[in-house]
A and B are shown apart, each in its own frame.
Chain A
Amino acid sequence: MATIVLVEDDHTIRETVARFLAGLGHHVVTSGRALEGLEQVVSESPDLVLLDLGLPDLDGTELLKMIRAVTAIPVIVITARGDDGDVVHHLDAGADDYLVKPFTTAQLGARIRAVLRRSEDGASAERLTVGELALDAPAREATLAGSRLDLSPKEFDLLLLLARRAGEVVTKRDMLAEVWREPYGGSDRTVDVHLSWLRRKLGESAAEPRYLRTVFGVGVKLVDPDA
């Protein structure tokens, strides 16, 4: 149960998202314009802000900067452009996470849960361990038995996703949606090749798996090999 400010100029999306979030038990305050949204952020002191970047009266990135100037409330930006440059730009400008249109209610719900959980735990404290594998999310560092793993950004994101859901089978579709932000497109082979690299860097292979277990026809799960 959280208070969420939603700034979105599209009337239907605003209404539907508000209805969905209310259904989850959140208190939702909506606004179709940037400056009105900023006033609500200040007056309502919400737990989370959902901010669409394509606003009629002010560029969403500018509004994000203004929000950051007055408060540290977590912000999830909603953008129609998913290219890497844009995403990095928004995260640098102070967004905690982002969603690329068109998103599903399931993704929206998952993203909100993750951001709220991180803000409750204290964002800087997200450290995960699975067996001898340790991940420091804010520092974007992973170690295996104390030695640092040299991972590409995508490999780190993939490992982080698997570690956050350790023991659960994560489907390739989920990986494409979460890591590549391509919930409907993308190629499974792209996931496969990154998993192969990850296996190699974790010192294992598909034939002799340790941390990364393939569940045929379903997906991959991260497990503690010594448990």
Chain B
Amino acid sequence: MRRRLSLLVLAVTSMVVIAFVVPLGLSVRDQAESRALNRAQRTAQSVAAGLAVAESLGADLDVGVASLVVAITGDAETSVHLADGTIVGDAPDSPNVAVAASGRAFTARVAGGVEVLVPVTGDTAATVVRTFVTSQELTEGVAAAWLALGVLGVLLIGAAVVVAGRLGRSLVRPVTHLADAARRMADGDLEARVEPAGPSEIAAVGDAFNHLVDRLDDLLVAERESVADLSHRLRTPLTSLRLQVEMLPDHLAAPSLLADLDRLTLQVDALISDASRRSPARGPRTSDLGAVTRRLVEFWSVLADDQGRAVGIDVPAGPIPVPLSDEELSAAIETLLENVFAHTPEGAGYAVAVRTDPEGPRLVVDDAGPGFPDAEVVARGATIGGRTGLGLDIARRAAERTGGVLVIGRSPSGGGRVEMRFGSHRR
């Protein structure tokens, strides 16, 4: 953004500078030229006037008189062209002299400069005064003026770019802070706030962001309270019901009622723990898939050892961030491992691998058991071997919360494969 602002200012200032400096430069050149020509015309007219006065006093306009008048009022570039063709002064013969001799004063551009020709009035014999202005005199001072103008223009553009850079930084800094805070909030840090700064519009965005995080925080607190309330509201009547059924004599079908109550309690427990898992906790919502997998595989390997199961683990080194809290990720992976122990016979090995694909990381649990009866087991409430599929459902929802999916398949040995695909961390 800063670069774009600077480029914009550079373009605008350059255009403005060009629009002013170029006409100004041309005007300076014209002024220098007309100044030199004026000076030459004045000189030529003075000499012509002097000669006219001399003639009116009765003097003959010969070389002597002309030399005298040029010496008094002319300069080195002034010459007098007498009617007999004699030239007084250091000047070449010019065809323009003949035109001026007809009585018309004018200036003419010739090689190396401009000549100014003035006829002597009242002289019937057509004497002409000529002064010559060199090209150098015509442009005297122009180069220096142009250089000064150029330097001034460059300084102006430079100053504008520097000011734009400063201004850009003051605009960009609050926006960068805002982006940082938004990223922290996305990672679950609800303490993320910004100091509203910069232009009023950006400061207003900062204020709105802070307000948004406050609201989110309030909503999360309310959500957690409602989950706590849910557990109280559901478990208290269940307790009441259970205690009353337990106090009933057996002939009133108390055992079958208790079995139903057990099932109901299990479902309520699952519902509450699922609700509290979905109610996002404060604190970072990022964990390291590699570290959590290694820790849990190691923890369960002791039971695997006791049951004669071979355990394989293949986890790449280095952190593999996934956007779930440590607790959520651990619960999901633990259910996958528990599932292997619950649904494969003792002695059946398993292998856990973590893969890092471009579209996101993936956890693969392969076992050497009999495999899944069908892929419907991940559907909510579907059952495997009489147990609810809720365990895998926890893993499925965890994967989906990251933008990924849970995939059931067949392992290379023909057993079961469960794959948790996580959305990429930045998604």
Q: Which residues of A contact B (CB under 8 A)?
A: 10, 12-13, 16-17, 19-20, 54, 80-81, 83, 100-105, 182, 184-185, 187-190, 192-193, 196-197, 199-200, 205-207
Residues on the B chain within 8 Å of A103, using CB? 239, 242
The answer to whether A102 touches B239, judged by C-beta atoms less than 8 angstroms apart, is: yes
The answer to whether A189 touches B303, judged by C-beta atoms less than 8 angstroms apart, is: yes
* Chain A binder among B18-26, B33-41, B243-251: B243-251
The answer to whether B306 touches A80, judged by C-beta atoms less than 8 angstroms apart, is: no
The answer to whether B247 touches A197, judged by C-beta atoms less than 8 angstroms apart, is: no
Flag whether B235 is at the interface (Cβ < 8 A).
yes
The answer to whether A20 touches B247, judged by C-beta atoms less than 8 angstroms apart, is: yes
Flag whether B262 is at the interface (Cβ < 8 A).
yes
Flag whether B62 is at the interface (Cβ < 8 A).
no
Among B237, B270, B342, the residue within 8 A (CB) of A189 is: B342
Among A12, A100, A192, A206, the residue within 8 A (CB) of B240 is: A12
Interface of B is mostly: helix
Residues on the B chain within 8 Å of A190, using CB? 338
The answer to whether A185 touches B239, judged by C-beta atoms less than 8 angstroms apart, is: no
26 A–B contacts from the bound complex (CB under 8 Å): A10-B239, A13-B236, A16-B243, A81-B228, A100-B235, A101-B235, A101-B239, A102-B235, A103-B239, A104-B242, A105-B243, A105-B246, A184-B262, A184-B265, A184-B266, A187-B338, A187-B342, A187-B391, A192-B341, A193-B300, A193-B302, A193-B303, A196-B305, A197-B302, A205-B306, A206-B307
Q: Considering the chains assembled together, what is the distance between the CA atoms of A200 and B301 in angstroms?
A: 12
Residues on the B chain within 8 Å of A104, using CB? 242, 246
Additional pairs, 19, CB under 8 Å, beyond known A17-B243, A105-B243: A12-B240, A13-B239, A13-B240, A13-B243, A16-B240, A16-B247, A54-B232, A54-B236, A80-B232, A81-B228, A81-B232, A100-B235, A101-B238, A101-B239, A102-B239, A185-B265, A185-B270, A193-B300, A196-B302
In the complex, per-residue mask of B336-378: 1 if CB is within 8 Å of any chain A CB, else 0: 0010011000000000000000000000000000000000000
Q: Considering the chains assembled together, what is the distance between the CA atoms of A12 and B244 in angstroms?
A: 8
The answer to whether B303 touches A196, judged by C-beta atoms less than 8 angstroms apart, is: yes
Interface positions, chain B 206-231, Cβ under 8 Å from A, are 228, 231
The answer to whether B341 touches A200, judged by C-beta atoms less than 8 angstroms apart, is: no
Closest residue of chain A to B342 (Cβ to Cβ) is A189
Flag whether B276 is at the interface (Cβ < 8 A).
yes
Among A101, A105, A199, the residue within 8 A (CB) of B236 is: A101
The 5 closest A-B pairs by CB, nearest first: A101-B235, A102-B239, A80-B232, A16-B243, A102-B238
Residues on the B chain within 8 Å of A101, using CB? 235-236, 238-239
In the complex, per-residue mask of B256-285: 1 if CB is within 8 Å of any chain A CB, else 0: 000000100110011000001000000000
Minimal beta-carbon separation of B281 from chain A (angstroms):
10
Residues on the B chain within 8 Å of A196, using CB? 302-303, 305-306
Residues on the A chain within 8 Å of B303, using CB? 189, 192-193, 196
Q: Which residues of B contact A (CB under 8 A)?
A: 228, 231-232, 235-244, 246-247, 262, 265-266, 269-270, 276, 299-300, 302-303, 305-307, 338, 341-342, 391
Residues on the A chain within 8 Å of B231, using CB? 80-81
Minimal beta-carbon separation of B236 from chain A (angstroms):
5
Q: Considering the chains assembled together, what is the distance between the CA atoms of A80 and B233 in angstroms?
A: 8
Minimal beta-carbon separation of A152 from chain B (angstroms):
10
Residues on the A chain within 8 Å of B299, using CB? 193, 197
Residues on the A chain within 8 Å of B269, using CB? 182, 184-185
Residues on the A chain within 8 Å of B306, using CB? 196, 199, 205-207
Closest residue of chain A to B234 (Cβ to Cβ) is A80
Q: Considering the chains assembled together, what is the distance between the CA atoms of A13 and B391 in angstroms?
A: 32
Residues on the B chain within 8 Å of A12, using CB? 240, 243-244
Q: Considering the chains assembled together, what is the distance between the CA atoms of A105 and B245 in angstroms?
A: 10
Residues on the B chain within 8 Å of A200, using CB? 302
Q: Considering the chains assembled together, what is the distance between the CA atoms of A190 and B235 in angstroms?
A: 24
Residues on the A chain within 8 Å of B265, using CB? 102, 184-185
Closest residue of chain B to A99 (Cβ to Cβ) is B239
Known: A54-B236, A184-B269, A185-B266. A16 touches B244 (CB 8 A): yes
Residues on the B chain within 8 Å of A184, using CB? 262, 265-266, 269
Minimal beta-carbon separation of A46 from chain B (angstroms):
21
The answer to whether B236 touches A10, judged by C-beta atoms less than 8 angstroms apart, is: yes
Closest residue of chain A to B231 (Cβ to Cβ) is A80
Residues on the A chain within 8 Å of B307, using CB? 206
Q: Considering the chains assembled together, what is the distance between the CA atoms of A54 and B237 in angstroms?
A: 13
Q: Considering the chains assembled together, what is the distance between the CA atoms of A205 and B302 in angstroms?
A: 10
Residues on the B chain within 8 Å of A19, using CB? 247
Q: Considering the chains assembled together, what is the distance between the CA atoms of A189 and B350 in angstroms?
A: 15
Minimal beta-carbon separation of A218 from chain B (angstroms):
18
Q: Considering the chains assembled together, what is the distance between the CA atoms of A227 and B415 in angstroms?
A: 45
Minimal beta-carbon separation of A54 from chain B (angstroms):
5
Minimal beta-carbon separation of A70 from chain B (angstroms):
27
Residues on the A chain within 8 Å of B247, using CB? 16, 19-20, 105
Q: Considering the chains assembled together, what is the distance between the CA atoms of A197 and B301 in angstroms?
A: 10
Minimal beta-carbon separation of A205 from chain B (angstroms):
7
